[in-house]
């Protein structure tokens, strides 16, 4: 269920109304086209796990880079004078670059995974959000609870409401 509001005050009033009516806060979220400080409309868990994907990516990249530069030098030896088969400085450069590359890929991949984007199915959305309107979305099953959420939103000043079935 998504309600569209003209401004932040009416949206915040709707969120207060929903919480007072017993809707758990974690089921309520806001849809905005610019970020608001936490708690202005809804409170959100600030903890994220996607950074561990970046760490994992970096570790994978380090192994891949070292194996690519040093491992292959060992497998395809090129004897140059009395120089070592594995050249540590170039191996270090390749290892470093691939570490950073996979850390970046891990960060971006992890970010999308944590955001659950792209979504597998349609979710309630109102394009008016792009023009500064505020969307308040609450996850409720169809039935009485949904009707109640809709009436709370309309009382708070929702311009319109949308549900998943309407998509």
Partner 1 sequence: MSEHAIAEKSAGRLNDEMLSSLRPPTWRWYGLAFFLGAVVAWGLAAFTYQVMTDLSVTGLDRPVMWGIYIANFVFWVGLSHSGTMVSAILRLSQANWRRPILRAAEAMTVFSITVAGLFPVIHLGRNWVVYYFLPYPNQRGLWPNFRSALLWDATAITTYIIGSSLFLYLGMLPDLALVRDRTTGWKKKIFDVLAMGWRGTAREWVVFRQASILMAALIIPVAVSVHSIVAWDFAVTVVPGWHSTIFPPYFVIGAITSGVAAVITLMVIIRRVFHLEEYLTPLHFDNMGKLLLVICLLWAYAYFVEVQTTWYAHQPIEWEVFSFMSGKYTPLLILMLIGNAILPITALCFKKIRRSVKAMLVITILVNVGMFIERYLIIVPSLSHKNMPFIWGTYSPSWVELSVTAAAFAGFTLMYVLFAKFFPMVAVTDVRELGIRHADISLGRAKVHSISEEE
How does DSSP assign 24-72, residue by residue?
-GGGEEEE-SS---TTSS--------HHHHHHHHHHHHHHHHHIIIIIH
CA 58 – CA 74 distance, rounded (Å)? 23
Interaction between residue 34 and partner 1 (CB under 8 A): yes
Cβ 144 to partner 1 shortest distance, Å: 25
Query: Rule CB under 8 A: which of 134-153 touch partner 1?
Result: 135, 137
- Candidates 70, 47, 68, 60; CA nearest to 103 is 60
Using CB under 8 A as the criterion, what x/- string covers residues 44-83 for binding partner 1?
Answer: xxx-x-xx--x-------------xx--xx-xx-x-x---
CA 47 – CA 55 distance, rounded (Å)? 16
Q: Which of 11, 12, 129, 158 binds partner 1 (CB under 8 A)?
A: 129
Count of residues near partner 1 by CB under 8 A: 58
The dihedral formed by the CA atoms of 39, 3, 118 and 110, expressed in degrees to the nearest 10: 10
Kindly tell me which of 20 and 45 has the beta carbon lying closer to partner 1: 45
CA 56 – CA 62 distance, rounded (Å)? 10
Cβ 155 to partner 1 shortest distance, Å: 22
Cβ 62 to partner 1 shortest distance, Å: 13
CA 48 – CA 113 distance, rounded (Å)? 11
Q: How far is CA 87 from the centre of its chain?
A: 41
Kindly tell me which of 9 and 147 has the beta carbon lying closer to partner 1: 9
Residues that bind partner 1 (CB under 8 A): 29-38, 41-42, 44-46, 48, 50-51, 54, 68-69, 72-73, 75-76, 78, 80, 87, 90-91, 93-94, 96-98, 100-101, 103-105, 107-108, 111-112, 114-115, 117-119, 123, 125, 127, 129-132, 135, 137
């Amino acid at each position: 269920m998504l309600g569209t509001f003209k401004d932040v005050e009416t949206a915040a009033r709707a969120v207060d109304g929903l919480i007072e009516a017993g809707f758990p806060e974690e089921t309520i979220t806001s849809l905005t086209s610019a970020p608001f400080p936490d708690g202005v409309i809804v409170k959100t868990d600030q903890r994220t796990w996607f950074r561990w994907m970046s760490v994992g990516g970096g570790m994978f990249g380090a192994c891949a880079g070292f194996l690519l530069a040093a491992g292959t030098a060992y497998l395809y030896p090129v004897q140059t004078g009395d120089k070592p088969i594995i050249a540590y400085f170039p191996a270090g450069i390749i290892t470093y670059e691939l570490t950073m590359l996979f850390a970046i890929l891990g960060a971006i991949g992890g970010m999308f995974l944590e955001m659950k984007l792209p979504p597998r199915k349609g979710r309630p959305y109102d394009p008016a959000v792009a023009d500064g309107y505020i969307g308040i979305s609450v996850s409720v099953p169809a039935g009485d609870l949904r009707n109640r959420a809709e009436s709370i939103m309309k009382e708070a000043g929702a311009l319109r409401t949308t549900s998943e079935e309407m998509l």
